[in-house]
């Protein structure tokens, strides 16, 4: 495979179209990004009990995240060591073992080979050789429930890699009782475009008012007070309090909380209201009096937009996961999240809160994400023009006093492309490295 001169393809103000259109660059990304850096795999609440499993991907590698009988988490390759068939064909579930549907080899939930049918037909005992255990991602670690994996033994520890982006993640979690959420079902979408188009857009405040015009109009039809989440972007958004912060290692955060009034119920006030919500709101208000505002705030989407390179986007109450399928196709899955209230800190209000939360989480992906996906697909079409190769990301660049830099965090106005320029610098470093990737097999021998 050819290597590439990434210095020539990635400049501060612009990047070359081939980053989005070249299948050989995509193939390199599968090792240098989706292999060599920490990649989000799943959330612990998706495998809550011993023997639970959940299917995911590391780049194109099919992975089963499992929890064994001792509560140890593993990330196994869904690839039989006999002749390569997938051993697990269910998206999620609970099992003591995986039996390959092809010739019946079976593996424990921790990935160790457990049985080979009619083994007298073999000269060796495969169970004595850990080569026949399922391959597994060599390093798996969690941060507050978010499970990541990497094949790079040289990568910095996960907490160090997440660095400053941990603070917004902490804030996002800590507003819930027990500092926890549970990941629920999802809106699943795909687009015919490169995965980076979605990451480029993840903190883009420039497009909102133009791309999401119909959603804004709909929001205002239901409650025309012009105070709803996205209306901020209507006039002079760069003079307002919303900022984008870049933390290094490709991670960034669009903090929209400063536009919020500081009182219980403020978040609920700016939530888009839709038919079907009124009953739950009335029930909470009647039953809980002034505490209802706090409970309704828990149902409303928090205006935070946390982007963990390369594939985890936490926005509102959603967890969006990007999954590259090819250089021109990407799956984008928006998992809903629910409040968990193990200690009954919410006095029995949790079910009504989660019912409302389901409705609040319908709005953006169903009415807004489609706008974005259309743009991504149309960019992919536009980038087919070979003679016009540059994609510009210089908004804000070169303007005096536009950015602040403190403790390594770069901050800029809401519509600036500073986060793109910075993440592309990190991308370039990763793409110019030559990492060694390794799997492990578990077992003692």
**Ranges assigned E (strand) in 95-249:** 97-99, 106-108, 113-115, 136-137, 139-143, 146-150, 181-191, 243-248
> Per CB under 5 A, which region of 177-185, 221-229, 346-354, 365-373 contacts Fe ion?
365-373
On whether the CB atoms of residues 117 and 104 are closer than 8 A, the answer is: yes
Q: Does 100 bind ligand FES (CB under 6 A)?
A: yes
Which residue in 52, 372, 416, 417 binds Fe ion (CB under 5 A)? 372
Q: Does 105 bind ligand FES (CB under 6 A)?
A: yes
Q: Does 293 bind Fe ion (CB under 5 A)?
A: no
Q: Does 103 bind ligand FES (CB under 6 A)?
A: yes
Smallest gap from Cβ 363 to ligand FES, in A, equals 44
Q: What angle do CA 159, 160, 162 make, to 5 degrees?
A: 65
On whether the CB atoms of residues 244 and 411 are closer than 8 A, the answer is: yes
Write the DSSP string, 28-74. Answer: HHHHHTTTTS-EEEEEGGGS-STTEEEEEEETTEEEEEEE-TTS-EE
Q: Does 102 bind ligand FES (CB under 6 A)?
A: yes
Q: Does 219 bind Fe ion (CB under 5 A)?
A: no
Nearer to ligand FES, 126 or 257 (CB): 126
Nearer to Fe ion, 52 or 372 (CB): 372
Q: Does 137 bind ligand FES (CB under 6 A)?
A: no
Residue environment code for 20-42, b if the CB has 16+ CB neighbours within 10 A, otherwise e: bbbeebbebbebbbbbbbbbbbb
403 in helix, strand or coil?
Answer: coil
Q: How many CB atoms lie within 10 A of CB 282?
A: 11
Binding partner selected for residue 83 from ligand FES, Fe ion, none, CB under the kind-specific 5 to 8 Å limit: ligand FES
Nearer to ligand FES, 84 or 275 (CB): 84
Smallest gap from Cβ 207 to Fe ion, in A, equals 6
Binding partner selected for residue 117 from ligand FES, Fe ion, none, CB under the kind-specific 5 to 8 Å limit: none
Smallest gap from Cβ 116 to ligand FES, in A, equals 8
**Ranges assigned E (strand) in 217-366:** 243-248, 251-255, 304-308, 312-315, 318-326, 329-339
Strand-pair partners of 326: 329
Q: Does 255 bind Fe ion (CB under 5 A)?
A: no
Strand-pair partners of 319: 314, 335
Q: How many CB atoms lie within 10 A of CB 186?
A: 17
What character string, x for contact with ligand FES (CB under 6 A) and - otherwise, covers 31-70?
----------------------------------------
Can you read off the two tokens belonging to residue 387?
A: 């003679």
Q: Does 350 bind ligand FES (CB under 6 A)?
A: no
Question: Which among 57, 34, 373 is positioned nearest to 198, based on CA atoms?
Answer: 373
Q: Does 134 bind ligand FES (CB under 6 A)?
A: no
> Per CB under 6 A, which region of 23-31, 98-106, 157-165, 250-258 contacts ligand FES?
98-106
CA-to-CA dists, residue 202 to 100, 101, 196, 223, angstroms: 39, 40, 10, 27
Q: Does 200 bind Fe ion (CB under 5 A)?
A: no
Smallest gap from Cβ 273 to Fe ion, in A, equals 21
On whether the CB atoms of residues 142 and 117 are closer than 8 A, the answer is: no
Q: Restricting to residues 65-84, which ones interact with ligand FES according to CB under 6 A?
A: 80, 82-83
Binding partner selected for residue 234 from ligand FES, Fe ion, none, CB under the kind-specific 5 to 8 Å limit: none
Smallest gap from Cβ 410 to ligand FES, in A, equals 50
Binding partner selected for residue 372 from Fe ion, ligand FES, none, CB under the kind-specific 5 to 8 Å limit: Fe ion
On whether the CB atoms of residues 106 and 96 are closer than 8 A, the answer is: no
d(CA 69, CA 443): 16
User: Residue of minimal CB distance from Fe ion?
Assistant: 372
**Phi-psi sector, 178: left (phi>0), alpha (psi -120 to 50), beta:** left
Binding partner selected for residue 341 from ligand FES, Fe ion, none, CB under the kind-specific 5 to 8 Å limit: none
Q: Restricting to residues 331-360, which ones interact with Fe ion according to CB under 5 A?
A: none
> Per CB under 6 A, which region of 57-65, 99-107, 305-313, 429-437 contacts ligand FES?
99-107
Q: Does 85 bind ligand FES (CB under 6 A)?
A: yes
Residues that bind Fe ion (CB under 5 A): 372
Write out the residues near ligand FES by the rule CB under 6 A. 80, 82-83, 85, 100, 102-105
């Amino acid at each position: 495979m050819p290597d590439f001169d990434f210095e020539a393809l990635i400049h501060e103000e612009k990047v070359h179209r081939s980053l989005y259109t070249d299948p050989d660059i995509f193939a390199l990304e599968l090792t240098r990004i989706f292999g060599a850096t920490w990649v989000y795999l799943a959330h612990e609440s998706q495998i809550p009990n011993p023997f639970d499993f959940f299917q995911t991907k590391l780049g194109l590698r099919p992975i089963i995240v499992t929890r064994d009988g001792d509560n140890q988490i593993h990330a196994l390759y869904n690839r039989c060591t006999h002749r390569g068939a997938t051993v697990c064909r269910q998206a999620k579930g609970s099992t003591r073992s995986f039996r390959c549907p092809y010739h019946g080899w079976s593996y424990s939930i921790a990935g160790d080979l457990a049985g080979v049918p009619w083994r007298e037909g073999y000269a060796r005992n495969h169970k004595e050789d850990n080569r026949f255990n399922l391959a597994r991602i060599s390093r798996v670690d969690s941060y507050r429930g978010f499970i990541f994996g990497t094949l790079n033994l040289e990568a910095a520890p996960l907490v160090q890699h997440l660095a400053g982006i941990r603070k917004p993640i902490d804030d996002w979690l800590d507003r819930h009782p027990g500092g926890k959420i549970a990941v629920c079902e999802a809106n699943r979408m795909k687009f015919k475009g490169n995965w980076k188009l979605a990451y480029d857009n993840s903190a883009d405040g420039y497009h909102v008012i133009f791309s999401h015009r119909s959603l804004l109009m709909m929001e205002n039809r239901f409650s025309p007070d012009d105070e709803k989440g996205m209306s901020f972007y209507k006039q002079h958004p760069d003079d307002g309090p919303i900022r984008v912060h870049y933390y290094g290692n490709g991670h960034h955060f669009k903090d929209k909380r400063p536009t919020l009034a500081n009182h219980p119920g403020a978040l609920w006030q700016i939530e888009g209201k839709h038919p079907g919500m009124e009953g739950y709101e009335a029930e909470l208000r009647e039953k809980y009096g002034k505490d209802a505002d706090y409970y309704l705030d828990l149902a409303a989407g928090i205006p935070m937009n946390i982007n963990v390179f390369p594939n985890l986007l936490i926005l509102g109450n959603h967890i969006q996961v990007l999954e590259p399928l090819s250089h021109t196709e990407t799956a984008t899955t928006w998992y809903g999240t629910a409040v968990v209230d193990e200690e009954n800190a919410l006095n029995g209000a949790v079910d009504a809160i989660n019912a409302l939360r389901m409705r609040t989480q319908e709005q953006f992906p169903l009415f807004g994400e489609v706008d974005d996906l259309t743009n991504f697909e149309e960019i992919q079409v536009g980038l087919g023009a070979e003679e016009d190769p540059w994609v510009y990301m210089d908004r804000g660049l070169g303007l005096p006093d536009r950015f602040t830099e403190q403790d390594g965090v770069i901050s800029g106005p809401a519509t600036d492309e500073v986060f793109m320029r910075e993440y592309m610098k990190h991308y370039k470093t990763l793409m110019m490295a030559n990492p060694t990737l390794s799997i492990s097999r578990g077992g003692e021998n």
